[in-house]
């Protein structure tokens, strides 16, 4: 009998009801064994989803689903991967039977949390949930790639950025919208590469912006999970080296740099880009948030020096120590943002302005920027080095580890 068949007895007759998928529709076949006629009723998949939960996936469905996962073209993301992992373990081994990993073992801890959260869910239900998740995943990933064809796609040789140069303006756009433009290690390197290339190209000005509904969500917290053979100490040391070089690129960038943000900016990219940009344009929808303490971390991007100078020590403390989120209006009033535009006209107004700036004599702009910033350069490099060294210690603290683990496992509790 077919996996999704139900046999119903009607008097002396046995009625077989079979479910099958057909181009986005579930078909119900009703067949009477003694009758040649077959009745087929089609329903959209969504209508039948609830009814299907009552069914049980066979071992073969389960194996097919496992194979389907390997064929997914797009990474479904950590949350989904944790769900798949936990359901797989529950379906094959039953309730979580492993000792809880230590707090520093981030990946295994997140996996353990996800599996443990399934409690005593029966193996058959876990198997069915796994099959259903894979099936919904296949269709949602197919349809989302139709909706946003350009998203997260390789562009101009970059994996995580879209870089264009036109009308005297080089635009560096962070392009991991599905991850809220969190900065993974590759993105750090690509931004540095793009800034170095922009400093030498023909453009007069450079614009930094983000694709999607976040300018950036700061450091990609999964960066903390990829532990090298030298352990967490080596990881922290490498992170400090990378951050110092990254921020150094902003300090040394010779051309006018404009940060253009229509949406929230969180964490760490706002600091270097706010601190060193000639201008920061924001829509009235944007917010600015540096939750360093919440993450057991400390200020970076020279914000410990630039923010108190730009705002005031008291206001900078609220932002950098207490993690107070500022609206674009508040940030503008504090001097962190140059000008705020209505969201509806943001792109038009900002780009009109940028195009006008890009027509100004490039050398004059470069020299003017140099004279404004050069006196501070040495100081900024020293502050950068100190901040990175303090952060290196913070990354090894329980406070930081716990905050990262909390973020990574927050949605894995099913
Ligand atoms: C070389 C190292 C240098 C380190 C320097 C020090 C840097 C410090 C900082 O940057 S501090 C700031 C760190 N960032 C955060 O704490 C933000 C974490 N993210 C969030 O709080 C939220 O995701 C959000 C408020 C940005 C958006 O919330 P929401 O709208 O509910 O979306 P999701 O949470 O579902 O996010 C979608 C998707 O993106 C993944 N994601 C978002 N931000 C990050 C991030 N910073 N790191 C890793 N992944 C992130 C999120 O997990 C979701 O992925 P999924 O679909 O689940 O796979």
Domain containing residue 272: CATH number:
3.90.226.10
Does 220 contact ligand 1 (Cβ within 6 A)?
A: yes
Same domain for 305 and 187: yes
Token duo for residue 1: 């009998």
Q: Say how many Å lie between the CA of residue 134 and the centre of ligand 1.
A: 24
User: How far apart, in Å, are the Cα atoms of 263 and each of 90, 145, 201, 207, 273?
Assistant: 40, 23, 28, 15, 15
Helix/strand/coil percentages in the chain, nearest 5:
50, 20, 30
Any domain includes 381: no
User: How far apart, in Å, are the Cα atoms of 388 and each of 253, 256, 299?
Assistant: 19, 25, 9
Atom 22 of ligand 1: nearest residue by CA position: 217
Decide if 195 contacts 209 (C-beta within 8 A).
no
Any domain includes 12: no
Any domain includes 124: yes
Q: Say how many Å lie between the CA of residue 168 and the centre of ligand 1.
A: 33
Same domain for 185 and 92: no
Strands 326-327 and 265-266: unpaired
User: How far apart, in Å, are the Cα atoms of 51 and each of 16, 28, 42, 394?
Assistant: 16, 12, 14, 51
Same domain for 271 and 166: yes
Same domain for 295 and 250: yes
Q: Which residue has the tokens 């960038």?
A: 253
Residue 340 DSSP label: E
CA 361, chain centre distance (Å): 38
- Looking at residue 270, what is its pLDDT? 55
Same domain for 186 and 126: no
Any domain includes 380: no
Of the residues 138, 170, 195, which one is the last residue of a structural domain? 138
Please give the ipTM for the structure prediction: 0.97
Atom 29 of ligand 1: nearest residue by CA position: 180
Q: Say how many Å lie between the CA of residue 47 and the centre of ligand 1.
A: 34
Atom 24 of ligand 1: nearest residue by CA position: 217
Does 84 contact ligand 1 (Cβ within 6 A)?
A: no
Domains identified in the chain, total number? 2
Atom 11 of ligand 1: nearest residue by CA position: 267
Same domain for 185 and 126: no
Domain that holds residue 393: 161-365+387-412
What is the model's pTM?
0.70
Domain containing residue 119: CATH number:
1.20.80.10
Atom 28 of ligand 1: nearest residue by CA position: 180
Same domain for 200 and 96: no
CA 131, chain centre distance (Å): 26
Atom 12 of ligand 1: nearest residue by CA position: 267
DSSP helix/strand/coil, 180:
coil
Of the residues 103, 138, 173, which one is the last residue of a structural domain? 138
Same domain for 237 and 95: no
- Minimal CA–CA distance to 384: which of 274, 267, 243, 265? 243
Same domain for 222 and 169: yes
Strands, sheet with 161-166, edge to edge from the N-terminal-most edge strand: 161-166, 169-174, 205-210, 257-261, 279-283, 339-341
Residues with Cβ within 8 Å of residue 27, at least 6 apart in sequence: 19, 20, 21, 40, 41, 42, 43
Atom 51 of ligand 1: nearest residue by CA position: 179
- Each residue's pLDDT, cut to its tens digit, for the chain (414 residues) gives 344 444 443 433 444 545 555 444 444 454 544 444 434 333 333 333 333 334 567 888 888 888 888 777 677 777 788 889 999 999 999 999 988 887 667 778 888 988 999 999 999 989 988 988 888 877 655 433 333 333 333 346 899 999 999 999 999 999 999 999 999 999 999 999 999 999 999 999 999 999 999 999 999 999 988 888 889 999 999 999 999 999 999 999 999 999 998 888 886 555 555 556 678 999 999 999 999 999 999 999 999 999 999 999 999 999 999 999 999 999 999 998 999 999 999 999 999 999 999 999 999 999 999 998 888 899 999 999 999 999 999 999 999 999 999 998 876 532
Helix locations, 103-254, DSSP H: 106-116, 123-147, 185-200, 231-252
Q: Which residue has the tokens 């996800």?
A: 114
Does 400 contact ligand 1 (Cβ within 6 A)?
A: no
Q: Say how many Å lie between the CA of residue 187 and the centre of ligand 1.
A: 14
Atom 37 of ligand 1: nearest residue by CA position: 179
Strands, sheet with 13-22, edge to edge from the N-terminal-most edge strand: 5-10, 13-22, 25-31, 38-44
Q: Say how many Å lie between the CA of residue 198 and the centre of ligand 1.
A: 27
Atom 20 of ligand 1: nearest residue by CA position: 217
Rounded Cα distance between 245 and 123, Å, is 50
Hey, which bits of 217-321 come out as E strands? Answer: 257-261, 265-266, 279-283, 287-289
Does 79 contact ligand 1 (Cβ within 6 A)?
A: yes
Of the residues 105, 138, 171, which one is the last residue of a structural domain? 138
Rounded Cα distance between 270 and 160, Å, is 18
Decide if 132 contacts 52 (C-beta within 8 A).
yes
Same domain for 255 and 397: yes
Any domain includes 16: no
Same domain for 279 and 322: yes
Any domain includes 262: yes
User: How far apart, in Å, are the Cα atoms of 386 and each of 183, 240, 344, 392?
Assistant: 22, 10, 41, 10
Same domain for 304 and 177: yes
Does 221 contact ligand 1 (Cβ within 6 A)?
A: yes
Any domain includes 153: no
Does 245 contact ligand 1 (Cβ within 6 A)?
A: no
Does 300 contact ligand 1 (Cβ within 6 A)?
A: yes
Any domain includes 90: yes
Does 45 contact ligand 1 (Cβ within 6 A)?
A: no
């Amino acid at each position: 009998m077919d996996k999704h068949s139900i046999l119903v007895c009607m008097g002396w007759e046995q009625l077989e009801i079979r479910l099958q998928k057909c181009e986005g529709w579930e078909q119900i076949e009703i067949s009477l064994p003694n009758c040649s006629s077959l009745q087929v009723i089609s329903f959209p998949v969504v209508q039948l989803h609830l009814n299907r939960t009552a069914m049980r996936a066979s071992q073969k469905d389960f194996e097919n689903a496992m194979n389907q996962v390997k064929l997914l073209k797009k990474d479904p993301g950590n949350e989904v991967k944790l769900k798949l992992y936990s359901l797989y373990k529950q379906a094959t081994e039953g309730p979580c039977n492993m000792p809880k990993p230590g707090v520093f073992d981030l990946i295994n801890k997140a996996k353990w949390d996800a599996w443990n959260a399934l409690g005593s869910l029966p193996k058959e239900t876990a198997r069915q949930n796994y099959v259903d998740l894979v099936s919904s995943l296949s269709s949602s990933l197919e349809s989302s790639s139709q909706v946003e064809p350009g998203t997260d796609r390789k562009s101009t040789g970059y994996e995580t950025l879209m870089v264009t140069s036109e009308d005297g303006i080089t635009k560096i756009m962070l392009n991991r919208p599905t991850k809220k433009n969190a900065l993974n290690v590759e993105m750090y390197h690509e931004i540095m590469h793009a800034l170095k290339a922009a400093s030498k190209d023909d453009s007069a000005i450079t614009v930094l912006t983000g694709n999607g509904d976040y300018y950036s969500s700061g450091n990609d917290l999964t960066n903390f999970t990829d532990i090298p053979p030298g352990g967490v100490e080596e990881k922290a040391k490498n992170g400090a080296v990378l951050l110092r070089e990254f921020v150094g690129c902003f300090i040394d960038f010779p051309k006018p740099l404009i940060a253009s943000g229509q949406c929230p900016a969180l964490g760490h990219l706002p600091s270097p880009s706010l601190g060193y940009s000639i201008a920061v344009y924001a829509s009235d929808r944007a917010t600015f948030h540096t939750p360093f303490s919440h993450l057991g971390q400390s200020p970076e991007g020279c914000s410990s020096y630039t923010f108190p100078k730009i705002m005031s020590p008291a206001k900078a403390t609220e932002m950098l120590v207490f993690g107070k989120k500022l609206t674009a209006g508040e940030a503008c009033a504090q001097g962190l943002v140059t000008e705020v535009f209505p969201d509806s006209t943001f792109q038009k107004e900002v780009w009109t302005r940028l195009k006008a700036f890009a027509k100004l004599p490039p050398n004059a702009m470069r020299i003017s920027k140099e004279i404004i910033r050069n006196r501070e350069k040495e100081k900024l490099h020293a502050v950068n080095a100190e901040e990175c060294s303090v952060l290196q210690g913070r990354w090894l603290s329980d406070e930081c580890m716990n905050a990262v683990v909390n973020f990574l496992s927050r949605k894995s509790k099913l």
